[in-house]
Amino acid sequence: MNQIKRSNRSEEIQKALRDALPILLAYFPLSMTYGVLAAAGGLNGGLAVFSSVWIFSGGAQFMLLGMFASSVAPVTIVTTLLLLSMRHVLYGATMGPYLVNWRESRKWLAAIGLTDEGFAVTSSRAAQGDPLLPSYYITFAIAIYGSWIAGTAAGTGLGSFVTAELAEVLTFALPALFIALLAGGERTLPFIAAAGCGAVLATLAGMLQLGGIGLIVGGLAGATLGQQISRIRSRRTTTTRANAKRTIR
């Protein structure tokens, strides 16, 4: 029995590493870019790595660099980062039912994996009916977390060798990652409508200099719109099938 458990655990760990590999390959260069920009901007290397350990959010950390460079007030920085990170509360609420049988300590550890990309992978697997076992989920979470921290550490070491012009070019790394994730997503109408709505609202908020509020509003509005369209299409499909059955009878 113990041998079977060990075998199942080993399979779950291997599956987690396979699922995490694409994110690892994206996170390392992206976080290295953050480390380079942080070092080039004068942020202490230790603080840059600590921010990745403590915050672990690409959008928030890149925005943090911009606010530091603009000498934004500390209260504004903290408030903006909290607003920008509010979406993780929604991620946690979504994943909670799948982890209901976990020990409380493991649930706290699982929170490490609630990044945008991590949530997309694990929530999709859970929605397909695959159980999220601790051996799988925690391995997945720690793997992507470690990749982000390692990339930041590598980037801070390279920061002193990077010119200001190259550092400016590297700021496009985060938008490029999100564009790639969007391009590789579904092509259904609810998905496209949600992405479009969120993008428009977030862009408008950015133009109005509303900081992280736009990301929250855009995400909520986009998700709501996509869900409503999905429900309407589902009702239409159900109605069509019911009418077809009546016609056959």
What would the pLDDT profile of 71-91 be if each residue is shown by its tens digit?
767 777 787 777 777 778 888
- How is residue 55 annotated by DSSP? T
Read off the pLDDT of residues 28-57 as tens digits, 9 standing for 90 and up: 888 888 888 888 777 787 888 998 998 888
The pTM assigned to this predicted structure is 0.68
* Token code pair at residue 100: 């209901």
Residue 153: the pLDDT is 92
Name the residue ranges covered by the structural domains of the chain: 2-185, 187-249
Q: Which of 109, 171, 99, 167 is nearest to 141 (CA)?
A: 109
Q: Which residues of 79-97 are buried (b: 16+ CB within 10 A; e: fewer)?
A: ebbebbbebbeebeeebee
Q: How far is CA 40 from the centre of its chain?
A: 25
Lookup result for tokens 């550092």: 167
Type of residue found at 176: A
Alpha-carbon distance of 15 to 152, in angstroms, equals: 26
Read off the pLDDT of residues 89-133 as tens digits, 9 standing for 90 and up: 888 888 888 888 888 888 888 888 888 888 888 888 887 888 888
**pLDDT band, very low/low/confident/very high, at 180 (cuts 50, 70, 90):** low
Alpha-carbon distance of 60 to 223, in angstroms, equals: 21
